[in-house]
Chain A
Amino acid sequence: MTTVESAVRPPQGQRRTEGEASGKRAGRWRRDKTLFFLALPGALYFVLFFYIPLLGNVVAFQDYAPFLGFTGSSFVGFENFTAMLADDAFWKAVGNTLEITLLQLFLYFPAPLALALLLHGMLGNRLKRLVQTVVYLPHFMSWVIVVAMFQQVFGGAGSLNMFLRQNDISILNIMNNPDTFSLLMTSQVIWKDCGWGTIMFLAALVAVDQNLYEAAAVDGGGKWRRLWHVTLPGIRPVLIMLFILRLGDILSVGFEQILLQRKFVGANASEVIDTYVFYNGVIDGNWGISTAAGLMKGIIGAALMLAANKLAHRLGEQGVYNR
């Protein structure tokens, strides 16, 4: 196991003394200039489109009207937060979000891993590449198409139910059933993004030392033992990193996907924090409350991610970044 970890960990640069460092600063600038300018547009992008818009969160503390602007709208303190917390619809949205996100964490998160293991075990490169291409494709379809396809097949007038009707079998309410909506959503996500999710795992699987498999086989380890003792530990750092990143946007559950299917099951089953923000803010013009909800969501996501990362470090894992 230790071998694997040090293999993944990037080699540490040789430490320099203080004096050497200052003396070489000009030289380093000359050497890294190109890299710096290459990184600049990316950094600017983040500043312009992520950090500066963060300032817009001030709306959460205002009775905001777009035409009055940030400066013209009056400050109302935490009134938006109080109003939001007193709103039943908000708590309904939180409840639905948690239900869907937990379900996805347990059902969706392992799915790409399983698929990656299957793909990795495939012999024959041409076939493997073909299968990979096929499973990546759905990721590039928009939700409009995915939902329309699901409706065409599983909807009330879809091909499955038309077939059942014509054969006098009772129909299945798959698309319009609020009770199973979170399951439906999760299966749609798996169908669409499972293949795409394998990319990281496949890359990690390739990095596992082949000698370990041989050694395990020589020691009499069967297929399952090799999976448990070699493969999974080998990709553990990647697994944990992806898990932590997933926690960061755990409260974002398929905005478009839900918006498209809201009418199918009603708001009671489908309202999540993101749609609450959308309907309240953009549609109903309650910018303040919506921004408050969005801000809360962001803070909870960031806190979860940092906490999970901390925990990973405590347990001796790499987490998202090296310390």
Chain B
Amino acid sequence: MNLNRRSFLGLAGLTAAVAVTGCSTSGGGTAGSKAGAAGGPLKMPTYVPFAGPTPDLPGNAQGLDPGFLKFPASPVKSVKAVPGDGSTITGLTYYDGPIVPQMSGNAFWQEVNKRLGVTFNLDTGNDEGYPTKFNTIVAGGEIKDFMWVAPNQGLTKIAQLAEAKFVDLTPFVSGDAVKEYPNLANFQEMTWQAAVMNGKIWGVPVPYSFFGQVYAGNKKSWDSVDGFTAKTPDELIEKFKQLTDAKAGRWALEPAYVNAVAQFNQIFRGVNTWKLEGGKLTHMFETQEYVSAIEMAIKAFQAGVFYPDPKITDIASKVAQGTVAAQVLSGAGWVGVPNQPGYGTAWEMTTFIPFGHDGGKGVHNLARGSVGFTGISNKNDEKKTKMLLKVLDYLAAPFGSEEWFFLNYGVAGTQHKMEKGAPVKTKEGETQLAFSNQLKFMTQSPEFLYYPGMDETTKAIHTAQQQLLEISQPSPILGHYSETNIDKGQSLTSKVYEYIEDAVTGRRPLTDFKSVVEEWKSGGGDKIRKEFEESIAKAG
């Protein structure tokens, strides 16, 4: 919600479908919480929810985001003292957006330094460049104080890297120790798992949506065909056809074929990457449901309902205009849509809640509630580590706290002014606050829903979240760790996904799928399965 979602979408897009299905090719792979390799079982940080303003629409521990219709009138103080010790902090983080004014000309940045008692000296990477930049910095041996470890981004040998270069944060945050950092204690257990490997906690996770990918549609388009739902796959394809008018330059679906297959997979009640039965794992590639989903996508392609070029750059505006009726978004990207300029007046969104292919309900495959984690360089001693954790604690300040308000809106009169009880960024603030988006990829507030002046939208998304949670299934490997998956998972999966693109567009026959999956298995898929099964067995 408060990350720069649109740009992060691009990052997720690199291996979008991997992210969705929570295929756990996560850079920050997760180890069994009870499967500590050495030193006994790992105690996850105690969850102490933030006692701030009561939301109008309550959230829950399953991942439902709290919704606020009004901006909290009196923000609560969540950090007691200035966290920093006056030193300079280096960091590598994600940023993709307009150029941030330099520190010397950026009053907000200076104020952040002042309030946190440090000087931020951050290096950033963006979309496709992030893994390269990360690997280059690692190769150069200049590990920064904070290193954001991206999930699904082809950062390999992360466990080894962490053992060699990061501080083991387990003694600092495990169990009740985390209470020292109240805003970090406000992170749910599922979120923390992003930073767990080999039974130790290697960083502070970046909280993110618990929801997996969803089809977000243009409400007006879908209202014309009686809503974004159907009773059978054929009926849905029929609706796609009705929404497509190539002569007029209108198509039903964006050309993200793999993401479409993932959506259709949920109609067939396919698994969330893996299915666990009696200690045995089956990958979604090996299930009939997934094949049915590919078949459905092939049918849709043959019906010509996908946008005809596989690359589409301005998809958000095409959906807003109704030129394309639906696009797949990450859970976080989805709830970020109403923050886009023009939303609510120019267009509105509708969400696809997967139905069952044979009647009844479909499923929704959950994500993992985080987007990577930030590791702390082990060049820092214990005292400095504690200081750095205090800084992250400040950055994790939740919605409704004074610190969150400052990090997102700066100082009244300079970066924002209050209008009708809600803050509005000044022109100066708009540019300066871009710095805030760099800080968010070190860590940030847990998710929430707040769309100023759009009560109906807030309620609609809150309702859709409840509907998705009703049919949601988490990935069974969440909290488990496979070295092979981290090293090779992404590469293996992307080969299968490349085949799926070929199959959907008719470049290769569906009969090849079997051999592609065989290759996936022998290339490492079977090994990944074995490692996860062992991890699950160990955890009991």
Q: Is the CB of B309 within 8 A of A284?
A: no
Among A65, A69, A286, the one with the most B-chain Cβ atoms within 10 Å of its Cβ is A65
Instruction: Known contacts A65-B157, A67-B165, A268-B507; decide if A161 and B308 are in contact (CB<8 Å).
Output: yes
Q: Is the CB of A263 within 8 A of B160?
A: no
Instruction: Known contacts A165-B246, A282-B132, A284-B154; decide if A263 and B138 are in contact (CB<8 Å).
Output: no
Which residue of chain A has the shortest Cβ distance to B490 in the bound complex?
A284
Select A157's contact among B138, B141, B157, B308, beta carbons within 8 Å: B308
- For residue B501, which residues in chain A have a CB less than 8 angstroms away from its CB? 263, 266
Q: Is the CB of A267 within 8 A of B141?
A: no
Which residue of chain A has the shortest Cβ distance to B486 in the bound complex?
A285
Give the distance to chain A from B324, nearest Cβ to Cβ, in Å. 10
Distance between Cα atoms of A142 and B395 in the complex (Å): 39
Which residue of chain A has the shortest Cβ distance to B132 in the bound complex?
A282
Residues of B in contact (CB 8 Å), total 34
Q: Is the CB of B249 within 8 A of A162?
A: yes
Select B498's contact among A155, A158, A267, beta carbons within 8 Å: A267
- For residue A284, which residues in chain B have a CB less than 8 angstroms away from its CB? 154, 156, 488, 490-491
Q: Is the CB of B507 within 8 A of A178?
A: yes
Q: Is the CB of B310 within 8 A of A176?
A: yes
* A244 at the B interface (CB under 8 A): no
* B131 at the A interface (CB under 8 A): yes
Q: Is the CB of A157 within 8 A of B154?
A: no
Which residue of chain B has the shortest Cβ distance to A261 in the bound complex?
B311
Which residue of chain A has the shortest Cβ distance to B507 in the bound complex?
A266
Distance between Cα atoms of A264 and B141 in the complex (Å): 38
* B247 at the A interface (CB under 8 A): yes
Select A166's contact among B157, B247, B308, beta carbons within 8 Å: B247
- For residue A267, which residues in chain B have a CB less than 8 angstroms away from its CB? 498, 502
Distance between Cα atoms of A286 and B491 in the complex (Å): 10
- For residue A279, which residues in chain B have a CB less than 8 angstroms away from its CB? 491
Residues of A in contact (CB 8 Å), total 33
Select B309's contact among A156, A268, A283, A285, beta carbons within 8 Å: A156
* A contacts with B: majority SS: helix
* B460 at the A interface (CB under 8 A): no
Select B247's contact among A165, A264, A283, beta carbons within 8 Å: A165
Select A66's contact among B139, B307, B313, B498, beta carbons within 8 Å: B139
* A175 at the B interface (CB under 8 A): yes
Instruction: Known contacts A162-B249, A285-B157; decide if A268 and B508 are in contact (CB<8 Å).
Output: yes
* B346 at the A interface (CB under 8 A): no
* A151 at the B interface (CB under 8 A): yes
Instruction: Known contacts A151-B309, A264-B310, A264-B311; decide if A285 and B156 are in contact (CB<8 Å).
Output: yes
Select A69's contact among B139, B155, B313, beta carbons within 8 Å: B139
Instruction: Known contacts A67-B164, A285-B157; decide if A268 and B502 are in contact (CB<8 Å).
Output: yes
* B487 at the A interface (CB under 8 A): yes
Give the distance to chain B from A266, nearest Cβ to Cβ, in Å. 5
Give the distance to chain A from B480, nearest Cβ to Cβ, in Å. 21
* B135 at the A interface (CB under 8 A): yes
Distance between Cα atoms of A66 and B490 in the complex (Å): 18
Which residue of chain A has the shortest Cβ distance to B165 in the bound complex?
A67
Tell me the chain A residues, 241-280 only, with Cβ under 8 Å from chain B: 260, 263-269, 279-280
Q: Is the CB of A69 within 8 A of B141?
A: yes
Give the distance to chain B from A126, nearest Cβ to Cβ, in Å. 40
Give the distance to chain B from A278, nearest Cβ to Cβ, in Å. 10
Contact with A along B249-289 (1 / 0, CB 8 A): 10000000000000000000000000000000000000000
Give the distance to chain B from A47, nearest Cβ to Cβ, in Å. 20
Contact with B along A159-201 (1 / 0, CB 8 A): 0011001100000000110100000000000000000000000
Give the distance to chain B from A289, nearest Cβ to Cβ, in Å. 11
* B126 at the A interface (CB under 8 A): no
Q: Is the CB of A263 within 8 A of B139?
A: no
- For residue A265, which residues in chain B have a CB less than 8 angstroms away from its CB? 507
Listed from nearest, the 7 A-B pairs whose CB atoms lie closest are: A156-B308, A285-B156, A66-B139, A284-B491, A67-B138, A263-B310, A155-B309
21 A–B contacts, CB within 8 A, in A order: A65-B160, A67-B139, A67-B161, A69-B141, A151-B309, A156-B307, A156-B309, A157-B249, A157-B308, A165-B246, A176-B505, A263-B311, A263-B501, A266-B498, A266-B505, A266-B507, A282-B131, A282-B154, A283-B490, A284-B156, A285-B155
